[in-house]
């Protein structure tokens, strides 16, 4: 098989700083695990605007379409706030998501034992938590027509439309079942079938797709009850699949069960390419953090864990993904902390590159 290709788009602010650590880890897997990647790097966001007057060139878009996976740092910054909406850094990211048709957004909520006290919930509720929310990303109420603010008699009315076709539900359900097969084989689908017709159809289609995955235990829950269960006892879940709106809320809720923004990876997946791999964009949940950019303070773990997701979901290297996650867990258990993970503690934080060093040392010790 040919060497898998990886397009790296560091972007703006802390993006290049955290991505530099990921590149060292990618090199480690090539040198120590016989897992080479054909890595190319390009500009996105403000960095692309500075160089080319657009946040994403057609050439970079074409590279992204051809790559086996894309890994992005972050985009944006105060310098670009004055730009016209059409060339703002975020437009580069939106174009990638739209043209790659990334309809399944994967947001893991994973709580490393060493950080369980960072959560607003009790330690025993979150310690060891490892769940995945799959949010439909390209349809539903954020896109449905009609939409707008209209005159209605002597007042105005605001309208948005929740709309899902069977094929839109089917493809995101399939992504979620495929993921569940790579995890603990439990999938919970959340909607509001009790009050919404789109929810009735959602439940029907997910159940139909489920018949193709007899090894996955499928359950259904109303999304409001799901929110309660997520805060009551989140460990009952493995994979959750839900629509765009509910997924927006539930994935933020689940992510914050685990503490710091500097720890949260994500993935957005599209349809399978001719080689069977899904179109895929991996990125940390955090932004470009202009308040700490250029100071070596950023936590690189969210971006490193995004690469671990790429290993698992694009490259079928689940064991190597677990190796990387275990290295992160080990480093945290040993007490290594970047500034964002220290809270009020008085001790000196690790720099971005020192955290990278510690994770590489843990990887070395793992072989």
Instruction: Tell which one of 22, 56, 75, 205 touches ligand NAD (CB under 6 A).
Output: 75
φ/ψ region of 335 (left if φ > 0, alpha if ψ in -120 to 50, else beta) reads left
Q: Is 266 in the site for ligand NAD (CB under 6 A)?
A: no
Asked if 248 is an active-site residue, the reply is yes
Q: b/e per residue, 239-265, with b = 16+ CB within 10 A?
A: bbbbbbbbbbebbebbbbbbbbebbbb
Among residues 206 and 264, whose Cβ is nearest to ligand NAD? Answer: 264
Task: Give the interface segment with ligand NAD, choosing from 34-42, 62-70, 137-145, 286-294 (CB under 6 A).
Answer: 286-294
Judge contact between 271 and 65, C-beta under 8 A: no
Could you give the residue ranges of the DSSP H alpha helices within the chain? 15-33, 46-52, 58-66, 89-99, 123-126, 166-181, 197-210, 223-232, 244-256, 301-313, 318-333, 352-365
Q: Respond yes or no: is residue 184 known to be catalytic.
A: no
CA-derived radius of gyration, the chain: 21
Q: How far is the CB of 263 from ligand NAD (least distance, A)?
A: 8
Q: Return the DSSP state at 178.
A: H
Number of neighbours of residue 317 by Cβ within 10 angstroms: 19
Binding of residue 289 to ligand NAD (CB under 6 A): yes
Annotated ligand binding at 334? The verdict is no
Work out whether 74 is an interface residue with ligand NAD (CB under 6 A): yes
317 labeled part of a ligand binding site: no
Give the residue from 123, 160, 362 showing the smallest Cα distance to 244. Answer: 160
Residue 192 designated active-site: yes
Ligand-binding site membership of 97 (annotated): yes
| Residue 243 known to be catalytic | no
| Residue 290, marked binder | yes
Annotated binding residues, as ranges?
Answer: 77-90, 97, 107, 135, 224, 248, 252, 287-299
Q: Which residues are catalytic?
A: 142, 192, 224, 248, 252
Annotated binding residues for Mg(2+), as ranges?
Answer: 224, 248, 252
Binding residues for ligand NAD, rule: CB under 6 A, are 14, 18, 74-77, 90, 93, 261-262, 283, 286-292, 298-299, 302, 340
């Amino acid at each position: 098989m040919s060497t898998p290709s990886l397009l790296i788009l560091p972007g703006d602010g802390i993006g290049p700083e955290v991505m530099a650590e990921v590149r060292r880890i990618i090199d480690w897997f090539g040198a120590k695990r016989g897992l080479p990647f054909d890595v190319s790097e390009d500009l996105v966001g403000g960095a692309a605007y500075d160089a080319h007057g657009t946040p994403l060139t057609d050439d970079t878009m074409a590279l992204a379409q051809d790559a086996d996976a894309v890994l992005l740092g972050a985009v944006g910054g105060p310098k670009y706030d004055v730009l016209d909406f059409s060339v703002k850094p975020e437009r580069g990211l939106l174009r990638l998501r739209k043209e790659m048709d990334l309809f399944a957004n994967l947001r893991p909520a994973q709580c490393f034992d060493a950080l369980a006290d960072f959560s607003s919930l009790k330690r025993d509720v979150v310690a060891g938590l490892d769940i995945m929310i799959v949010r439909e990303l390209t349809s539903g109420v954020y896109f449905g027509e009609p939409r707008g603010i209209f005159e209605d008699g002597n007042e105005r009315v605001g309208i948005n439309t929740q709309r899902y076709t069977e094929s839109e539900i089917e493809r995101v359900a399939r992504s979620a079942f495929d993921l569940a097969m790579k995890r603990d084989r439990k999938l919970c689908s959340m909607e509001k079938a009790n009050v919404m017709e789109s929810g009735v159809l959602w439940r029907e289609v997910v159940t139909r797709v489920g018949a193709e995955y007899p090894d996955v235990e499928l359950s259904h829950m109303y999304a409001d009850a799901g929110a309660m269960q997520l805060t009551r006892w989140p460990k009952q879940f493995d994979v959750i699949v839900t629509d765009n709106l509910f997924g927006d809320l539930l994935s933020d809720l689940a992510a914050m069960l685990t503490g710091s923004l500097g720890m949260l990876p994500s993935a957005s997946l599209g349809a399978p390419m001719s080689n069977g791999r899904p179109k895929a964009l991996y990125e940390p949940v955090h932004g470009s953090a202009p308040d700490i950019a250029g100071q070596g303070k950023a936590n690189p773990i969210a971006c490193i864990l995004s690469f671990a997701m790429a290993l698992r979901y694009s490259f079928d290297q689940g064991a190597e993904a677990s190796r990387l996650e275990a290295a992160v867990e080990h480093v945290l258990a040993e007490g290594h902390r970047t500034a964002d993970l220290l809270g009020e503690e008085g001790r000196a934080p690790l720099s971005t590159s020192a955290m990278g060093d510690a994770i590489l040392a843990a990887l070395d010790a793992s072989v």
